[in-house]
Structure 1
């Protein structure tokens, strides 16, 4: 059985930090459907619309009836371990550094036989549960887990490689003044984070969240995401020991273009929501990328808290939605730029949140506690996209069905009786 993960020893500052390496990342276009599902924590396989069979590995035509109508469908994750081997020597540097590596073949109840990484707690010839996870290159891999969870299962080296678990890691929450800051800090503490920092702009101005953060043992440090010097100064102080950064800074005001007399609020929204994210990335990103292979508490994830209206605007908050769309686009750029180092970018999309500016809107709304739970769950599962709340999930489904129809639904409104 997996032993509890020990608290890492203090690092020797004179020791060389191991250079990041990545597993093979080349995939066919067909195989990227598996990655897209894994990014949301789903196990999906191609299913032939002609004969109804599930297919693996991904391909362009059904091996049984040659149909090209193959649709990615959530599949039964249960199966039986057929055979296994342990890799001790590999031509790939990534696997050579982490050998031995256990792999095996699994016969799925859904039909196909797959090749999967095997959890160390898995006995031979056992019933298994398959999960699709993202590896350090951002591509999907299949992992065979015990049918019944075992103690400390997520603390195995294999699972640490395929997740961004906060346990024993140091986390920076970018905005201590945000309504969700205290809930995030509490959830991180409960998840075993070694140290939690929170950035605070205008420290001379009191706010109710500060006492709650200090009661949780959070280190509140000066950080103004609209000030490049402030961001760089804090990065120089803690950038080399930040393992997870949660970009939760947000400026929101109602109104679009015509409802506002000038561009003052729009500038503030762009400064905080978009340029603030860019400043954080420029200051903290290089140091985090350099430490993605730094042992069990390596730098592992960058988290962006975004409104789901980054995908399609809500006119009543049009200016804010525009800044969120810019931040969403930047997050995709960061995902590409961080991928070489294996630093994961996780976007948490929320519907209306429980705060002063969304107070006039009817429920359901996302509470700070719900947002914190979704964020920690996403980190533990190594996700890239987390949809928090009923509205966000519904918005996602409608966006995927037809973005143009969703635009009409959100912008045209309806006539009264």
Structure 2
């Protein structure tokens, strides 16, 4: 059974610091279909439309009938671990610094045989379930997991390398006074964060819920206004070297489209918080996160952006806010590319309409802040890149894939 992780000791300032390295990241264009599934926590393989054969590894034509009609579908992830071995030597720097490392061959119930990383609780000849995970290079890898969950299985070295589990990692919530920020802080504390830094964008405004959470010994408050470069820089100088997970909950949501609004001030404010705020945070905290991406058990692991499903499709009733979220999504993709070189995961969260004061006139279903917080913790543990929260977001996700023009017309009606 997996031994539970022990609380990491204080870092020895004299000892060598392990530099961020990445596993081999080259993939064919066909193999990027695995990455697309892993990024959202799905298990999909290519299935031939003509003969029904499940393909692995991904390819351009069917290995059985040479058909080009290969579509990505959810398949049965179960199988049997035929044999495994433990590597004690590797020519690759990433694996050499993480030896010993276990790999094995799994015969899938769906047909193909797969070479996969193997969880330490799996036994040769026993049933296992395969999972697609993103490694530190941002590419999909196969991991063989026990058929049923085992105690402390999330503390396995292989899973820890492909997840951003909050356990023993300190987190920064950029806007701790928002409903989502308060819920995320509580969820991260419950998930094992030893310390949560709670940003306060309005130090002059008292908030009983914020003050109550700040009384927890595991919470440290600090002034943090993402529209003020000096405020962001001061916060980074104070705690930047201690943050392993950053959750950007800063948001300015207002109603209104384009033609009827006679000023640009609200639009400017929304862009200042939702877009330029992320830019200030990235410039102040990003280098520190990347520098500590290989720093042992509590290495820097993730940057989380709480966006909106309307980042994908504009809601004219909140046109400028939707546009700011779309710009934030574009900026987040840039940040993801820049942080991938260090192995830091950038996670984008797309909830539907939130149940807070700025959505009073929005009819149900609305997403409770605690639901968003639970989805963020689960996504960090699963190591995914994109998560859609709530019925509206899930429906929009499906409809954008099926008929985006129809969704655009309905939102604008």
Cα deviation 1:27-71 (Å, max 9, x = unaligned): 000000000000111110000001111100000000111111100
In 1, the alpha carbon distance for the partners of 2:91 and 2:128 equals: 29
SS in 2 for 1:199: strand
Query: Shift of residue 202 of structure 1?
Result: 2.5
Cα deviation 1:277-315 (Å, max 9, x = unaligned): 110001000010000000000000000000100001001
2:159 paired residue number = 159
SS in 2 for 1:332: helix
> Which one is further off, 399-408 or 75-84?
399-408
CA contact (8 A) 2:304 2:349 kept: yes
CA contact (8 A) 2:180 2:373 kept: yes
CA contact (8 A) 1:181 1:209 kept: no
Query: Shift of residue 365 of structure 1?
Result: 0.5
1:367 paired residue number = 368
Structure 2 gap segments, 5+ residues each: none
Query: Shift of residue 237 of structure 1?
Result: 1.0
1:334 paired residue number = 335
Structure 1 gap segments, 5+ residues each: none
Query: Shift of residue 14 of structure 1?
Result: 3.8
1:177 paired residue number = 177
> Which one is further off, 337-346 or 211-220?
211-220
TM-score scaled by structure 2? Answer: 0.98
Query: Shift of residue 375 of structure 1?
Result: 0.3
2:249 paired residue number = 248
1:384 paired residue number = 385
The count of corresponding residues between Structure 1 and Structure 2 is 412
In 1, the alpha carbon distance for the partners of 2:213 and 2:249 equals: 15
Following superposition of structure 1 onto structure 2, how do residues 163-312 of structure 1 map, counting pairs within 5 Å? 163-217=163-217, 218-312=219-313
Cα deviation 1:337-391 (Å, max 9, x = unaligned): 0000000000010000011111101111110110000000000000100111010
1:43 paired residue number = 43
CA contact (8 A) 1:314 1:410 kept: yes
CA contact (8 A) 1:80 1:125 kept: yes
1:131 aligns with 2:131: yes
CA contact (8 A) 1:353 1:365 kept: yes
Report the RMSD for the aligned CA atoms in angstroms. Answer: 1.0
In 2, the alpha carbon distance for the partners of 1:262 and 1:320 equals: 14
SS in 1 for 2:40: coil
In 2, the alpha carbon distance for the partners of 1:401 and 1:212 equals: 46
CA contact (8 A) 1:179 1:209 kept: no
In 2, the alpha carbon distance for the partners of 1:295 and 1:67 equals: 46
TM-score scaled by structure 1? Answer: 0.97
